[in-house]
Amino acid sequence: MSCCVLVLLPSSSTVLDKPSPLCHTLIQTHTTKTQAYRHRYSRPPPLPFRARPRLVRLLAPPALHHQQHHPRCLLHLSTPHDYKHRPMPLLSSSSTSSLPFLVIITISMLLLRYTTAFAFRSGSPPTTLPSLLRLCPHQRQRQTLRALVSSSSTPSSSKVGFIGLGYMGAGMVRRLLEKGDDVIVWNRSVEKSEKLLSEYPVAGRVSIATSPKQVLEEVGEGLTFSMLSTPAAAREVFHAPNGILAGIKKGSKLIDCATLEVKDMQAFDSAVKVKGGSFLEAPVSGSKVPAETGQLLFLTGGNEEVFEEAMPHLSAMGKASFFLGDTGKGTEMKLVVNMIMATMMSSLSEGLALADKANLSTEDVVKVLSLGAMANPLFNLKGPKIIKDDHTVNFPLKHAQKDLAFALALAEKVGVKVPAAAAANEGYVAALEQGEGEKDFSAVARVVMK
């Protein structure tokens, strides 16, 4: 049986094949997530979320989502330009009869007549996301397509493993539970697991494993996420006799979301592969609140099939996910991002210190910054807190310094000078020595503003 796949991508390239008469349709207007967000937070979702394109999915053989067994195709009648600036439904219906399908095809063919789209016709149409991705020559097209498939996926509930319920892991695992996944968790301090169990007492929603090994064993060929604090902690839990590696078997899938060094991720990847498992690094951008509200950014590298399988889960925990190549690339991206962030925080602290000593209002500095070209959520959020000396932890300073140190090592490895980040690091090291490590990384201001 053939299928219909039609995707208008950023440069209007089109993948098109004739629909099978056996196709039947499922048309989703993609408002479910928006409605859920409104319901929960009593306000419209943020723009990138709200502006996601409407999708029309055609249930037909073969599958775009190999994770779900009913095959489907994807029909997307919008361009990123449309959905960025004009989030409107091109098609909308909830019927499952074949009539809308014919209407859609007719409209799409009419639309195609008026585009400069390149029509790709093939005797064997792309049947999986990877094969469809291969038809997209540009990185941006591939990212768009992944985002489309991710946002169109009906969250399917499954059993997933989660190791590490710290500031980040606790929020992430709750997002998975809210999505409908059952989770088996392990955390060094069992109280955090027990707290989670008390929040989801229905049998089977949360199970507590006695070791990381047991998590992997119980999840089998499902996904296990790991979110531990430092490379030392991650290595310890990975190599322990009852640790992660001991539980890896053929078909196991491990996704490490911590910020570690590239060499750690690569070593985990190799060790998992040797035992027949698959590995994805997926460090996150965003701190405690984004973890709790499902607004993280996943910066991934490694096994692309695991990335695709994980997409519904990553979508539950984050607002965007990037697949950046081989294992190590996700971590490198994360280190670049955190180096910039830590340096910005240091710079903000210096600016506030300077203003204070020069008898300027620090509140005015924050206000001026917020209205100019340097306006950004980090300054808006942390500026007023620094002024009040409130460093309630979201992203612990000890982790910010760890990431800066890794970023400096990366810069040295690739031969790039980063003097501003190196100077910022000195402030974070001084703050650590001063005992500020468990506070938020904004506490670097305590050193700078002394």
32-40, 107-115, 142-150, 182-190 -> range binding ligand NAP (CB under 6 A):
182-190
Site string for ligand NAP, 336-375 (x = CB under 6 A): ----------------------------------------
- Whether 334 is catalytic is yes
Please give the torsion angle defined by the CA atoms of residues 239, 244, 246 and 247, in that order, rounded to the nearest 10 degrees. 180
Task: Please name the residues in contact with 358: beta carbons below 8 A apart, sequence gap of 6 or more.
Answer: none
Burial zone of 202 (CB within 10 Å; 0-12 exposed, 13-18 middle, 19+ buried): exposed
CA neighbor of 28 nearest in space, from 63, 79, 72? 72
C-beta of 152 vs 187, nearer to ligand NAP = 187
Single residue of 161, 166, 243, 351 touching ligand NAP by CB under 6 A: 166
Pick from 226, 287, 331, 401 the residue near ligand NAP by CB under 6 A. Answer: 287
Binding mask 217-246 for ligand NAP (x = CB under 6 A): ----------xxx---x--xx---------
Q: Tell me the closest approach of the beta carbon of residue 283 to ligand NAP, in angstroms.
A: 6
Q: In whole angstroms, give the CA distance from residue 423 to residue 116.
A: 52
Which one, 17 or 261, has the nearer CB to ligand NAP? 261
Burial of 111 (0-12, 13-18, 19+ CB in 10 A): middle
- Sign of the CA dihedral with 405 first, then 287, 428, and 430 last: negative
Give least dist CB 157 to ligand NAP, A: 24
For residue 226, give the nearest of 268, 198, 190, 261 by alpha carbon: 268
**Residues 60, 71: contact at Cβ < 8 Å?**
yes
Pick 182 or 261: Cβ nearer ligand NAP: 261
CB of 258 to ligand NAP, least distance (A): 4
Contact 1, 124 (CB under 8 A): no
One of 192, 253, 334, 382 is an active-site residue; which one? 334
- The answer to the question of residue 288 lying near ligand NAP (CB under 6 A) is yes
Render 76-111 in DSSP notation, one character per residue. E---HHHHHH----SS-----SHHHHHHHHHHHHHH
What is the DSSP track for 99-150?
Answer: HHHHHHHHHHHHHHHTS-PEEE--SS---SHHHHHTT--SHHHHHHHHHHHH
Among 19, 126, 161, 169, binds ligand NAP (CB under 6 A): 169
Q: Is 297 in the site for ligand NAP (CB under 6 A)?
A: no
Min dist. Cβ of residue 160 to ligand NAP (A): 16
> How far, in Å, CA of 107 to CA of 157, rounded?
34
> CB of residue 254 vs ligand NAP: minimum separation in angstroms?
15
Sole binder of ligand NAP in the list 329, 399, 439, 446 (CB under 6 A) = 399
Q: Please say whether the beta carbons of 51 and 87 come within 8 A.
A: yes
For residue 333, the minimal CB distance to ligand NAP (Å) is 12
438 forms part of the interface with ligand NAP (CB under 6 A):
no
Considering only 83, 268, 395, 428, the residue that binds ligand NAP (CB under 6 A) is 395
For 376-380, which contacts have Cβ atoms below 8 Å and span 24 or more sequence positions?
376/344, 378/341, 378/344, 378/345, 378/348, 379/344, 379/348
What number of chain residues touch ligand NAP (CB under 6 A)?
26
- Characterize the bridge pairing of strands 206-208 and 72-76: unpaired
- Taking the CA atoms of residue 106, residue 124, residue 3 and residue 16 in that order, the dihedral angle to the nearest 10 degrees is -30
Within residues 186-205, the interface with ligand NAP by CB under 6 A covers: 187-189, 192
- Angle (CA) 315-95-14 rounded to 5° is 60
Residue from 255, 258, 352, 443 touching ligand NAP (CB under 6 A): that is 258
Stretch that binds ligand NAP, among 98-106, 151-159, 166-174, 361-369 (CB under 6 A): 166-174
Residue nearest ligand NAP, Cβ-based: 166
Examine residue 331 and tell whether it contacts ligand NAP (CB under 6 A).
no
Q: Which of 58, 160, 165, 410 binds ligand NAP (CB under 6 A)?
A: 165
Which is closer to ligand NAP, CB of 80 or CB of 161? 161
| CA pair distance 342, 329, nearest whole angstrom | 20
Residue 111 has phi, psi (to 5 degrees) of -60, -45
Rg (CA), the chain: 24
Least Å distance between CB 17 and ligand NAP?
A: 42
Q: Which positions are catalytic?
A: 334
The residues of the shown chain that bind ligand NAP, judged by CB under 6 A, are 164-169, 187-189, 192, 227-229, 233, 236-237, 258-259, 284, 287-288, 394-396, 399, 403
